[in-house]
Amino acid sequence: MVSEVIIDQFAGVGTRVLTTDGADLTSADGARTRTLTRQVL
């Protein structure tokens, strides 16, 4: 859950957070599965 808060704070100031394969974690494209997977891991 801490990572979700940090990602949300980055998104709030307009910074993008990317994974090593290029997926944008701060995009609001409605990928709820991606969010759930991050929370589980």
- Domain residue spans of the chain: 2-40
Residue 19 φ/ψ region, left for φ over 0, alpha for ψ in the -120 to 50 degree band, beta for the rest: beta
Mean pLDDT per 10-residue run, the chain (41 residues)? 80 86 74 67 64
pTM: 0.56
pLDDT at 7: 81
pLDDT at 13: 92
pLDDT at 1: 66
Count Cβ neighbours within 10 Å for each residue of 15-32 and write b for 16 or more, e otherwise: eeeeeeeeeebeeeeeee
